[in-house]
């Protein structure tokens, strides 16, 4: 798009509906995808805000396993289902979602899904830099600051069109999130919640205050414009889009969609935790595994060992997520991470770490699902505080992007 001297930049629509319900936002995703697929709307950058606050599960998740429905009902929290994959998220009214509705042709020179993820992720990174936040895109799906996740991303496609979106954490209400999502890491004490917090960050924490929404939106718009060389022009929904939105919203508010029908799969996911003493200190690994599919859903590595750079552990957790949970594959994955990154782990060998990762995955696979029950939380709680033994200010970034 960019780099053509003198050529007019492509024009994208900037669509900002303001806060709407989860059902309206999900319906609008479908409407825009269909319209772009049929070339009946321009390529669009859209902002998403949710009112009331809501929980969104991933396309294939079973709500009963992921959401504390009674709590959500009592607190006026909408529950809905995304068109995209991934895990359940809680969005309060202060969060800002962004998404691109485009065709692959809108990203010339970009090859493959990962290339597109990185390209769009770079737009957000450039926008955040305008706010003074030094973020990076971490393959495959995260935008992070010093290894801590600031925005998750995901997407889906139709024949010609795709949507790729993410949510910027402006603030992080971890207490409400733990109440409304059925996470295996629930039932944690304050220290452990603090450990969980260290894996994510938010703009309020990074900047000292939450930027006003117009400032945040402006920064993202400028980031997309700069990174892609496009011009973003505010525009409304077309008449056809408005009609389609009105027609489709009841479906996205219906139990048929929210419950998922044939989309919803019972994702039994248990948590296994293993502690191992090493010459370098205690190594604690908790793995959340879907044993029916042999897939790692999440990894939490903590303990009192020393690691440089500190972010390497968070990057390794991301590197293991959504990959095979089988021992041979996990060993290869762990080894490839350390082969590609300059990480110092005194007193702990890569093989020892791989052993504990495999043991925790095996422990998770042996546990009965679903993993959301309190019984699945191991007595050795999974999300211990990583920080005390880790260097707080680390000036040695992992080689390359921190992941292989």
114 is a contact residue toward other proteins (CB under 8 A): yes
Least distance to other proteins, CB of residue 261, Å: 11
Site for other proteins in 137-166 (CB under 8 A): 140-141, 152-159
Among 33, 83, 128, 372, binds other proteins (CB under 8 A): 83
Give CA separation, 210 vs 33, 130, 150, 197, in Å. 31, 14, 13, 17
Count the residues of the shown chain that bind other proteins, applying the rule CB under 8 A: 34
Q: Which of 65, 97, 70 is closest to 259 using CA atoms? A: 65
Buried b (16+ CB within 10 A) or exposed e, 391-401: eeebeebbeeb
Q: Is 324 in the site for other proteins (CB under 8 A)?
A: yes
Window of 227-235, 244-252, 293-301, 349-357 that interacts with other proteins by CB under 8 A: 293-301
Q: Single out the segment in contact with other proteins by CB under 8 A; choices: 128-136, 198-206, 290-298, 361-369.
A: 290-298
2 contributes a contact to other proteins by CB under 8 A: no
Q: Which one, 152 or 223, has the nearer CB to other proteins?
A: 152
Least distance between other proteins and beta carbon 112 (Å): 5
- List 262, 379, 388, 395, residue binding other proteins (CB under 8 A): 262
Radius of gyration, alpha carbons of the chain: 21
Give the nearest distance from C-beta 290 to other proteins in angstroms. 8
Closer to other proteins at the Cβ: 14 or 27? 27
List phi, psi (to 5°) of 63: -60, -40
Restricting to residues 359-378, which ones interact with other proteins according to CB under 8 A? none
Burial 280-303 (b: 16+ CB within 10 A, else e): bbebbbbbbbbbeeebbbbbbbbb
CA dihedral of residues 395, 400, 401, 402 (deg, nearest 10): -60
84 binds other proteins (CB under 8 A): yes
Nearer to other proteins, 328 or 395 (CB): 328
Rounded CA separation 10/187 (Å): 50
Q: Is 7 exposed, middle or buried (0-12, 13-18, 19+ CB in 10 A)?
A: exposed
Task: Name which of 204 and 293 has its Cβ closer to other proteins.
Answer: 293
Check binding of 290 to other proteins (CB under 8 A): yes
59 versus 213: smaller Cβ distance to other proteins: 59
Name which of 309, 271, 277 is nearest 291 in CA terms.
Answer: 271
86 is an interface residue for other proteins by CB under 8 A? yes
Question: 149: which strand partners?
Answer: 144, 200
Instruction: Determine which residue in the list 60, 204, 332, 401 makes contact with other proteins, applying CB under 8 A.
Output: 60
- Find, among 393, 379, 387, 378, the residue nearest to 314 by Cα: 387
Which residues in this chain contact other proteins in the complex, by CB under 8 A? 58-60, 83-86, 109, 111-115, 140-141, 152-159, 262-263, 265, 290, 293-295, 321-324
């Amino acid at each position: 798009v960019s780099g053509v001297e003198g050529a007019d930049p492509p024009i994208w629509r900037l669509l900002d509906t303001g806060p709407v319900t989860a059902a309206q936002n999900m319906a609008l995703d479908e409407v825009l995808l269909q319209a772009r697929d049929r070339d009946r709307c321009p390529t669009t950058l859209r902002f998403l805000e949710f009112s009331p606050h809501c929980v969104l599960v991933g396309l294939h998740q079973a709500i009963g396993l992921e959401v504390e429905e009674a709590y959500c009902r009592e607190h006026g929290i909408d529950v809905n289902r995304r068109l995209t994959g991934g895990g359940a998220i809680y969005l309060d009214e202060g969060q800002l979602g962004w998404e691109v509705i485009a065709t692959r042709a809108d990203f010339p020179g970009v090859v493959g899904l990962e290339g597109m993820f990185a390209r769009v992720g770079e737009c957000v990174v450039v926008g955040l830099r305008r706010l003074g936040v030094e973020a990076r895109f971490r393959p495959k799906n995260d935008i992070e600051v010093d290894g801590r996740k600031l925005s998750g991303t995901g997407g889906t496609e139709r024949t010609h069109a795709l949507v790729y979106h993410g949510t910027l954490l402006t603030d992080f209400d971890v207490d409400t999130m733990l109440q409304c999502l059925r996470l295996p890491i629930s039932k944690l004490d304050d220290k452990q919640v603090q450990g969980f917090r260290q894996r994510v960050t938010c703009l309020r924490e990074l900047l000292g205050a939450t930027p006003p929404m117009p400032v945040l939106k402006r920064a993202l718009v400028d980031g997309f414009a700069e990174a892609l060389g496009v011009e973003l022009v505010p525009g409304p929904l077309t008449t056809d889009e408005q009609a389609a939105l009105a027609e489709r919203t009841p479906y996205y508010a219906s139990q048929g969609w929210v419950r998922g029908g044939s989309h919803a799969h019972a994702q039994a996911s248990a948590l296994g935790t293993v502690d191992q003493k090493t010459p370098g200190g205690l190594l604690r690994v908790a793995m959340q595994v879907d044993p029916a599919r042999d897939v790692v859903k999440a990894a939490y590595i903590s303990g009192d060992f020393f690691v440089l750079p500190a972010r390497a552990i968070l990057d390794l957790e991301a590197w293991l997520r959504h990959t095979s949970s089988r021992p041979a594959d996990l060993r290869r994955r762990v080894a490839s991470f350390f082969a590609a990154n300059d990480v110092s782990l005194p007193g702990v060998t890569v093989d020892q770490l791989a052993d504990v990762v495999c043991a925790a995955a095996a422990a998770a696979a042996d546990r009965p699902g679903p993993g959301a029950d309190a019984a699945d939380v191991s007595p050795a709680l999974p999300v211990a505080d990583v920080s005390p033994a880790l260097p707080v200010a680390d000036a040695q970034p992992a080689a390359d992007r921190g992941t292989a």
